[in-house]
Amino acid sequence: MEYYTWILTFHVVAFMSWMAMLFYLPRLFVYHVENSDKKEYVEIVKIQEYKIYKYIGAPAMWATIASGALMLGLNSSILSSGGWMHAKLTVLAFLIAYSFSLEKYRKELENDTCKKSGKFFRMYNEIPTMLAILVVGYVITKSVSIIFTVGTIALFAFIGYMIMKPKKDKS
């Protein structure tokens, strides 16, 4: 346990780096899609998308997973501490799936085969924020509150609806 806090420190920094990619890459997708008519601009954004995923996001995700697994191995009793760790690991599974989905969209955008709109990516960009709030809430409180969980999901469902709903004409 001597090195546990150092592993935890590494885990938190890796998680922050991973989240930076999860927050920013969909925003790049918005710029990419909404400026698809500007070839030179899109080529620069494609490079940014590639680098943020391959050089920051994917390594940080794997570092987060590895350090988290190491901490669980060193302190497996945490799995029997009230369910919050199981909730965190469930949200982690969604974050990993989301991360892989970003790579799928990045490749589609790179190959000019993506059919998603800027509005879609604006809404999609809200998902990691919601998941991060859930993870942090579970870890800080060391509990799972149904009200907190459902409330957070409902709030972000409403935000997603507001982003995706058609705009009314002002005529």
Average pLDDT over residues 9-13: 97
Average pLDDT over residues 98-103: 98
Place of tokens 């005529």: 171
Is residue 171 in some structural domain?
A: no
Question: Could you give the C-alpha distances from 150 to 2, 128, 142, in angstroms and in order?
Answer: 38, 16, 17
Nearest-angstrom CA–CA distance, 64 and 56 = 12
Is residue 170 in some structural domain?
A: no
Q: Is 88 annotated as a binding residue?
A: yes
- Give the DSSP letter of residue 82: S
Q: Is 86 annotated as a binding residue?
A: no
pTM of the predicted structure, to 2 decimals = 0.90
Q: Which domain holds residue 115?
A: 4-164
Is residue 130 in some structural domain?
A: yes
Structure tokens at 35: 């400026």
Domain count within the chain: 1
**Is the pLDDT at 80 greater than 70, yes or no?**
yes
pLDDT band at 78 (very low <50, low <70, confident <90, very high): confident
pLDDT band at 27 (very low <50, low <70, confident <90, very high): very high
Residue-level pLDDT at 171? 60
Residue-level pLDDT at 167? 81
Kindly report, residue by residue over 131-146, the tens digit of the pLDDT.
999 999 999 999 999 9
